[in-house]
Amino acid sequence: MRYSYFPGCSLERNAAAYHNSTVAIAKPLGMELIEVEDWNCCGATEYISLNLIASYALIARNLAQASKNSASDQLVAPCSACYLNLRKCNKYMVEDSGLAEKVNLALAAGNLKYQPGTIKVRHLLDVIVNDIGYESIKEKVTKPLTGLKIAPYYGCMIVRPEFPTGGKLFDDTEYPTTLDRLLKVLGAEVIDYPMKAHCCGGHMTQISETTGFELIRRLIKGAVDNQADMIVTLCPMCQLNLDGFQGAMNAHFKTNYQMPVLYFTQVIGLSLGFDAKDMDIGSELVSARPALAKIGVEISETEAPKKRPSKEELPMPHMPEKE
């Protein structure tokens, strides 16, 4: 099946592992991804906080670029924030003709045009579970993730809110289950994760550390309390917050959580028989190696980060712990 593909800014570098693993599994899964020509940033949650028409015009330029692809009217976004913005722009342009008119006037200044509602915006998870389907994936699994306990983490923007013209949401807003089912098909043990649809805090670490770190702490603690070996996510912002900021969060709360966070496409790849290296495993800051060793996945030593010896590893005298 053919799709227009909108990677989004994060997937260019910070979340390159998400992009590379998506591209790698696309072929065996039978997806042909055609990258939207010269796409631009969706504005994240920032432009809409400053300018209304400009923020919608910025998003609509991508929809206009995507409509140039005659091979498919389906636009796939792996990033939940891009997915939400593209859907939302589509919806409000259909619903609010005044807005649509202004956005198109702006687009015309750049010789572009977008007919609201013509592009169908889909999330990568939706396409994988609904178009390719659980059964078809199950047939392709050669190295099942048997014995790996995974906390399925959806985050917020993929499951909320429902935008009617973008098609019905493919999962429940409060208790989504599609990723759970997918991970079970891959052979993993899926833990009950009450925080699965809670927010990672988005940009809050930059606005208020106490607020941002607390949201991250809840999610990591939830996975640890439920004995997960790792969290699997489908959004680059969630991955950056939970993995990248885990160390700073630990320092803030004087905790020592070590919860690896991988993209769902990376674990799909492992189960299809790809090497960990092909899936960019090792690019996460909290190493997934101990968790993956449980299921016999080896990550070569040379790629491991150079770790300075921690205080615990030095022969230091310790005070006996009080009972």
Q: Which of residues 116-155 bind another protein (CB under 8 A)?
A: none
- The closest of 253, 186, 202 to 224, measured between CA atoms, is 253
How many other CB atoms sit within 10 Å of the CB of residue 318?
A: 6
316 forms part of the interface with another protein (CB under 8 A): no
Check residue 177 for interaction with another protein (CB under 8 A).
no
**282 is an interface residue for another protein by CB under 8 A:** yes
Provide the residue type at 11 as one letter.
Answer: L
Choice between 31 and 152, CB closer to another protein: 152
- In the range 202-241, which residues lie near another protein by CB under 8 A? 202-204, 206-211, 215
Q: Is 5 a residue that touches another protein (CB under 8 A)?
A: no
Which of 53, 68, 130, 273 binds another protein (CB under 8 A)? It is 53
CA distance 314 to 35: 50
| 34 makes contact with another protein (CB under 8 A) | no
CB of 32 to another protein, least distance (A): 23
In this structure, are residues 274 and 143 in contact, taking their beta carbons and an 8 Å threshold?
no
Among 138, 247, 253, 295, binds another protein (CB under 8 A): 247
Min separation Cβ 252 and another protein, Å: 8
Binding mask 10-29 for another protein (x = CB under 8 A): --xxxxx-------------
Using the contact rule CB under 8 A, the part of the chain among 95-103, 255-263, 271-279, 291-299 near another protein is 95-103
Task: Verify binding: residue 277, another protein, rule CB under 8 A.
Answer: no
Our finding on whether 83 is near another protein (CB under 8 A) is: no
| Cβ atoms 163, 88 nearer than 8 A | yes
Which range in 34-42, 115-123, 136-144, 221-229 contacts another protein by CB under 8 A?
A: 34-42
Q: Which is nearer to another protein, 138 or 198 (CB)?
A: 198
Q: What is the token pair recorded at 166?
A: 């973008």
Told to check if 92 binds another protein by CB under 8 A, we report yes
Among 141, 224, 248, 295, binds another protein (CB under 8 A): 248
Spatial distance between the Cα atoms of 177 and 12, rounded to a whole number of angstroms: 29
CB of 257 to another protein, least distance (A): 14
R_g of the chain computed on alpha carbons: 21
179: nearest Cα among 286, 259, 295, 262:
262
- CA distances in angstroms from 61 to 25, 53, 164, listed in the order given: 28, 12, 21
Interacting residues of 42 by C-beta distance below 8 A, sequence separation 6+: 8, 58, 59, 62, 81, 82, 85, 86
Angle at 118 between CA 171 and CA 53, to 5 degrees: 90
Identity of residue 186 = L
Rounded distance, CA 111 to CA 215, Å?
43
201 touches another protein by CB under 8 A: yes
Q: Which is nearer to another protein, 73 or 101 (CB)?
A: 101
